[in-house]
Amino acid sequence: MPDSSFTKWKPWTDGPKFDAQSFYETLDGGQSFSWNRNEGYIEGTFKHFIYRLRLDADRLSVSIPKKIDYESSIKHLEEYFALETDFRGIIDTLPWRSDPTLKLAIESYPHLRILKQPLNEALFGFLCSSTKQIPQIKEMFKLTAFKYGSKISTGKHALPDWNMIARLEEADLRKLKLGYRARYIHGTAQRIQAEPNWLNSIHTLSTEDAKKELLSLPGVGLKIANCVLLFSLGRLESFPIDTWIAKILKRSYGLENFSNAQLQAFSRNHYGPYAGYAQQFLFSAARSGILKL
């Protein structure tokens, strides 16, 4: 039975083109932690909006709560999917013609996109990600939103902002299954509260300076910093290296004795200015077992 609190499905005529694998991997493959699959569609939240997205042929249809302005919702969705970025053109610049590993990954997810998430949400999500799998990070995200975020719709809440989190004690955060990450999130919230313009100013910095700012936060290492740069700030040159990516690079390119710093240098040289986009193809193909580790 259709949910009467949501609008009827509307075609998103200017939305991105997708195949099924690329659609679900873009939203539910580790870039964001606020989307959940349902029968026939996927539902997610960001900022103070909630969306249901359905793939019809190769285009998306959208349904939102009736009380939320549709035009405003679509505008934010366009930003979230980075519609201004020509991902097809970028793929053409990547070295897949001479790189069979990358070619296989791209062919497996031909319409994969890089999301442009709100900075506060991406930072929170990746601070939760240390040694955790995607379902566990989603649960932390959901618990935090439900306990301390504002209500969007029935049973759905927005993630609280960092000023709200700064008012909590570390013990409060530990109750949200954050474990030792609570200390880092608490410390980051205190830092952002003390520097109210921090979240806005980082957008104006060069990638290297923005990375330095992120690395100055409690609990943020190079991988988390690169994830935030890539999946929020649109810095497509940023190349997160986790265990899977390190294994792929070492096995596929004969780099077994390379350190992470050397792997970073290799990625910049081999993949070029859009190395982060190449990374996501490799990550997705490894996650699904298409690339053997």
The length of the chain in residues reads 293
pTM: 0.95
Residues 6 or more apart in contact with residue 195 via CB below 8 angstroms: none
Q: Is 76 left (phi over 0), alpha (psi -120 to 50) or beta?
A: alpha
Q: Is the dihedral of CA 6, 9, 14, 19 positive or negative?
A: positive
What is the rounded distance in angstroms from the CA atom of residue 128 to the CA atom of residue 152?
23
Q: How far is CA 266 from the centre of its chain?
A: 24
Q: What string of pLDDT tens digits covers the 293 residues of the chain? A: 457 789 999 999 999 999 999 999 999 999 999 999 999 999 999 999 999 999 999 999 999 999 889 999 999 999 999 999 999 999 999 999 999 999 999 999 999 999 999 999 999 999 999 888 999 999 999 999 999 999 987 778 999 999 999 999 999 999 999 999 999 999 999 999 999 999 999 999 999 999 999 999 999 999 999 999 999 999 999 999 999 999 999 999 999 999 999 999 999 999 999 999 999 999 999 999 999 87
Pairing of strands 41-46, 156-157: unpaired
pLDDT at residue 2, as a whole number: 57
Q: Under a CB-based contact definition with an 8 Å cutoff, are residues 54 and 158 in contact?
A: no
* Residue ranges in the chain assigned as alpha helix (H): 20-28, 70-80, 87-93, 100-108, 119-127, 134-148, 162-166, 170-174, 181-194, 198-201, 207-215, 222-231, 243-253, 260-271, 275-287
* Residue ranges in 2-63 assigned as alpha helix (H): 20-28
